[in-house]
Amino acid sequence: MSSSNNNSNKYRAVLALTATVTAAAVLYYRSQGTDKDQFAKRYANRLRKSSIAGEGAAEDGDIFGCHHARVKVVYGSESGNAENLAKGLVMQLNDHGIGAALVEPSSWSYLERYLYSSSASKFPLLSSAPLTQDVPMKKKDIFIFVVSTAGEGEPAANYMTLFFEILRQYESYNAAVEKDKNTIPPFRNVAFAVFGLGDSSYKYYCRSGTTTNLCLKKAGGCELLRMGFGDAKRDTTEDLFDAWTNRLMEVLKADCGIKVTQGSTKPPKRSTELVLTPNTASASDEPVYPGPPLGTAPSLHTPSKVLLKRMEQLSATRKEDGSAVHRVTFEIKDTSVAYEAGDHFGIYPSNPPEAVDRLIRLLSLKEEEVNSLTQLRPLGAGLKANLLPKQVTLRNVLTHYMDLCGKPRRFVLRVLAKYCSDNKERATMEELLKAPEEGRPVPNASGTLRTVLDYMERFPSCCSIPLGHLLEIMPRIQVRYYSIGSDPSTHPGEIQLYIRFREDGLTSGYLKNRLQPGKDHVYAYVRTSTFHLPSKIDDVPMLLIGPGTGSAAMVGLCFRREAIMRENPSGKYGPCVFFFGARTKEEYFIKEEVERWSLSPKEIQSYDAAHPEANSTAAVRAMPGKGPLSQPVITLLDCAFSRETEEKVYVTNLLQKHEAQVLEILRGDVGRIYVSGDATNMAKDVDKALIELLVADRGCGKPEAVAHLRQMERDKRYQKDVY
């Protein structure tokens, strides 16, 4: 085996170790809720012990490895939104004469040296000066954080190490101050600003950002301006970030003594170089993502190839948008994919061929270029660095990596505008891209500028942008997550999803129009969650609320419940209440499964005998010799079809309708409630309805009822899988 292969295997092993530690950290963090003191310390210690980083220091006195940039922009990104904003910020700062560098914390050599090298301990975290020096404002190290919040409030995976080290420093300082009030704060020589991204539909909105801001500020850091917030629910994040960036530059000029220029009309400098290598081999079956290292589970960066087994349309097609719900089954046998009911399946879609061909035509790319092997390397990083997941053909880069069909990012369009050789086109494009505070945007009268490709066709002189620069600034295609509607005990070797296919959906078009069941594969992995049934469900009453495709997770939990009941048929199981909601009965796509689960044990046996190949009887086929059931899997089933009656009925009305059964679950200390579906309205309405029931039942005030629900959340007895 060659040395390059050995190095590659070592590198993949390191990635696997990092992914394992990170995944363990996420699950532990979720399980502990707000009690994170021990976790922060244990996590930091584990990272130190597991490191294989060597000693050493940055060259030329640049301890941060950022080419002496005055401003360091750190991003924590799960879906790519924070990363794209951070990239745009760095370009804008540099464009205005402010030396800025982008920091990806999970591969930041400075952080490795700080955590694992004894020599780095001479300086505090994020500081180039020892704590004994109190440097003036104009010489403080400046860090800008653009960070998203993932899952149940935890930081993005790539930001987790730095996040918990900041948290550890803050907590250590707090503990030291209690003993000695003269303790020097660890971030006294750091100036910072934080912009957080999240979705206000969720309970832990922007918690990663607010915690970062709090820790830095309370431990001596100088807050340059108030934290900014981007809310995915309102689709105004780019506007808010633009306004926040303008204020940031004013502060950098006024308080930090940084000279800010008017901004150049020339395109920003590139930080990468494109390398195209002639390719003589066939690229039709080349893997476009690195697979998981041997013996490890697939992850976000090392997904597995999974066979698309079958697709079945379950609901009527909506007239207004042409959408319909399909059950999509994937085969995972002979892979290292593992899951539990309640986890999420992440699928990497690809751009349609016509979109790729449009870009090829716009850039006038030659066939030999399209078929060349492609690398995107950081400038000065050497031959081995590649910012793309793999070295693949340019066509595959454009097909699988570049987000050609999503909403265009404003900073990408601003760079394209600077490449416009036609002055009139440039002026019109720049006017379109003005932020609300700068002036009234020109309306898009035609309504056709929905993607980067649309802009490039409308303003063709911007197509002079070098291919490498376009690849550098373009956002990547992001994984799409779906709740799993099966259980490994009842569906061995399979994963089932319930997906509403939409005519304009990227994943919908990818699965429905470009893949052939039984033949084609997708790149995917399982994102673990805590949305699971307990291992023992004896005498545990349950309430499952799943309108629309949110019911997929509930179907998975019911398959799991049936498997447990068949494994121990003599057990005494608490009641299980299931509320489903949809617009019409034509969208009652889980009718087969839930109505079977509502039958008596004898009726289920008769049904199974008459429908041996039905999806709902999967447990019978997968678990021969187990059972039979001693009671129904679902003891109460009710549905709300909002458009079937004159007065609209929703799942929240079912809570009031079946008040006695719901209160039985709320009153005890073992009952569990699971909610899955829309976070914006449904989940909040369910919260409100449960609080009203508690207030009426207990004769208490709203604060006490809210406290009861929050305690159920902390005890993992009230769980939500919402989006």
What are the residue boundaries of the structural domains of the chain, listed by start? 67-121+136-264, 304-349+478-527, 353-473, 542-722
Q: What is the DSSP letter of 390?
A: S
User: Facing residues of 71 across strands?
Assistant: 100, 142
Over residues 621-662, the pLDDT tens digits come to 999 888 789 999 999 999 999 999 888 999 999 999 999 999
pLDDT band at residue 28 under the 50/70/90 scheme: very low
Q: Which residues, 6 or more positions from 563, have their beta carbon under 8 angstroms from its beta carbon? A: 487, 489, 490, 619, 623
Alpha carbon distance 456, 416 (integer Å):
8
Alpha carbon distance 635, 171 (integer Å):
48
pLDDT of residue 548: 95
User: Facing residues of 312 across strands?
Assistant: 327
pLDDT band at residue 16 under the 50/70/90 scheme: very low
Domain 542-722 in the same topology as domain 67-121+136-264: yes
pLDDT band at residue 284 under the 50/70/90 scheme: low
pLDDT of residue 62: 65
For the chain, report the end-to-end CA distance as a whole number of angstroms.
47
Q: Is the dihedral of CA 347, 352, 353, 356 positive or negative?
A: negative
Q: What is the CATH number of domain 67-121+136-264?
A: 3.40.50.360
pLDDT band at residue 722 under the 50/70/90 scheme: confident
Alpha carbon distance 437, 246 (integer Å):
10
Alpha carbon distance 308, 519 (integer Å):
7
Q: Which residues, 6 or more positions from 446, have their beta carbon under 8 angstroms from its beta carbon? A: none
**Which tops the pLDDT comparison, 664 or 199?**
664
pLDDT of residue 436: 52
Q: Is 584 helix (H, G, I), strand (E, B) or coil?
A: coil
Q: Is 17 helix (H, G, I), strand (E, B) or coil?
A: helix
pLDDT of residue 378: 85
Contact (Cβ atoms closer than 8 angstroms) between residue 116 and residue 109: no
pLDDT band at residue 437 under the 50/70/90 scheme: very low
pLDDT band at residue 201 under the 50/70/90 scheme: confident
Over residues 468-522, the pLDDT tens digits come to 999 999 999 989 999 999 999 999 999 999 999 998 899 999 999 999 999 999 9
CATH architecture, domain 542-722: 3-Layer(aba) Sandwich (3.40)
pLDDT of residue 435: 57
- The owner of tokens 């069909």 is 405
| Mean per-residue pLDDT, 296-315 | 94
Domain at 353-473, CATH class:
mainly alpha
Alpha carbon distance 150, 157 (integer Å):
8
Q: Is the pLDDT of residue 379 over 90?
A: no
pLDDT of residue 396: 95
Kindly give the pairing relationship between strand 71-76 and strand 100-103: parallel
| Mean per-residue pLDDT, 121-134 | 83
DSSP 614-676: -GGGHHHHHSTT----SS-S-SEEEEEETTTSSS---HHHHHHHTHHHHHHHHHSSS-EEEEE
Alpha carbon distance 165, 215 (integer Å):
10
Q: Is the pLDDT of residue 281 over 60?
A: yes
State both tokens at 674.
């699971």
**Which tops the pLDDT comparison, 305 or 25?**
305
| Mean per-residue pLDDT, 275-290 | 79
Alpha carbon distance 405, 295 (integer Å):
35
Angle, helices 207-218 vs 160-179, to 10°: value is 40
Q: What is the DSSP letter of 34?
A: T
Q: What is the DSSP letter of 538?
A: B
Question: Above pLDDT 90, what percent of the chain?
Answer: 70
pLDDT band at residue 303 under the 50/70/90 scheme: very high
- Most confident region among 31-45, 102-116, 150-164, 565-579 by mean pLDDT: 565-579
Query: What is the CB neighbour count within 10 angstroms for residue 551?
Result: 29
pLDDT band at residue 295 under the 50/70/90 scheme: confident
Q: Is the pLDDT of residue 20 over 80?
A: no
pLDDT of residue 67: 73
User: Facing residues of 546 across strands?
Assistant: 580
Alpha carbon distance 86, 475 (integer Å):
12
Q: Average pLDDT, whole number, for the chain?
A: 87
Alpha helices (runs of H) in 668-722, residue ranges in sequence order: 682-698, 702-714
Strand spans (E) along 457-510? 480-483, 494-501
Alpha carbon distance 608, 618 (integer Å):
9
Over residues 549-569, the pLDDT tens digits come to 999 999 999 999 999 999 999
Alpha carbon distance 120, 63 (integer Å):
9
pLDDT of residue 380: 62
Q: What is the CATH number of domain 304-349+478-527?
A: 2.40.30.10
Q: Is the pLDDT of residue 263 over 50?
A: yes
pLDDT band at residue 57 under the 50/70/90 scheme: very low
pLDDT of residue 132: 85
